[in-house]
Amino acid sequence: MRRLLDLIYAPLAALALALLIPPVCIAVIIGPTLTIRRETGRFCVRLMMACIGVPLRVRGIGNLPAGAAIVVCNHASYVDGIVLTAALPRRYSFVVQDGAAGWPLVGQCLTRMGVIYVNRRDARAGARTTRALMHKLGANEPLAIFAEGTFKPEPGLLPFKVGAFMMAARCDVPVVPAAIRGSRRLYGGGRRLPRWSRLEIEIGRPLHPIGKDRDAALVLRAEARDAVLQLSGEPERLDIADADRED
């Protein structure tokens, strides 16, 4: 019965998303201010999820600090970014890989929403982005980062890259662990069609750095990853090398 429902649901949900995404992107792009664009994006994501019958529940929003912080979240599917956008207050700026900037229409939408792109292939560009992000934190602006840097078809939380935690330690701002549950089934695993799933976003308690050096950042990373493991309910994966690089 579940497979039959998936077979019926998948093409209908995909069609609905294909019809909704272009006008949503245009609505965001033409917004006159960043505040309006972000609020439009948050509302439209919830509207899209409702149109495809996907419940979206957010818990722990009161754990978010009033000022600067870095939310680190698990990454399991193509929809994680937009789902987290709908969950977090509009003051949060998202950090994503620079390849997303070139996506037709969607890339322009992301840019207009104030997304910060990071180039992991170019050390100098990465350093400039890190300085810009630290400047935002110093100006009391919070960030949202998928600390795994990517996602795999198989379930499991990948190692966290250290860059977000180095910034948190150097700027002395808290890291807030968060987890998205249900998105892997909805649109993960490299699939072209969605499957129905509930979506839950849970935000944990802030974690504070104990110093400003790399050792403090590594401690903070370990604590944040343990917290995200518990919140996400996914197994641990340690099969990706080079996790300690600062990017």
Local confidence band at 80 (pLDDT 50, 70, 90 cut-offs): very high
Q: Which residue has the higher pLDDT, 153 or 117?
A: 117
Cβ atoms of 95 and 75 closer than 8 Å:
no
Q: Which residue has the higher pLDDT, 41 or 4?
A: 41
For residues 80-99, average pLDDT:
94
pLDDT of 125 higher than 60 = yes
How high does pLDDT run on average in the chain?
92
Strand-pair partners of 221: none
Within-domain flag for 238: no
Within-domain flag for 120: yes
Within-domain flag for 26: yes
The whole-number pLDDT of residue 243 equals 45
Burial of 18 (0-12, 13-18, 19+ CB in 10 A): exposed
Distance CA 184, CA 190 (A): 10
Please write the tens of the pLDDT for every residue from 177-224. 999 999 999 998 777 899 999 999 999 999 999 999 999 999 999 999
Distance CA 71, CA 89 (A): 11
For residues 154-178, average pLDDT:
95
For residue 98, count other CB atoms closer than 10 A to its CB: 18
For residues 58-70, average pLDDT:
97
Local confidence band at 247 (pLDDT 50, 70, 90 cut-offs): very low
pLDDT of 242 higher than 50 = no
Domain membership of residue 204 as a residue range:
2-232
For residues 138-142, average pLDDT:
96
- What CATH number is associated with residue 129? 3.40.1130.10
Within-domain flag for 244: no
Within-domain flag for 95: yes
Within-domain flag for 239: no
Q: What is the CA radius of gyration of the chain?
A: 18
Cβ atoms of 161 and 243 closer than 8 Å:
yes
Reported as type and span, the H/E element at residue 96 is strand 93-97
The whole-number pLDDT of residue 141 equals 96
Number of domains in the chain: 1
Local confidence band at 53 (pLDDT 50, 70, 90 cut-offs): very high
pLDDT of 60 higher than 70 = yes
pLDDT of 246 higher than 70 = no
Within-domain flag for 241: no
Length of the chain: 247
Is this model's pTM higher than 0.95 or not? no
Cβ atoms of 68 and 141 closer than 8 Å:
yes
For residues 157-169, average pLDDT:
95
Within-domain flag for 246: no
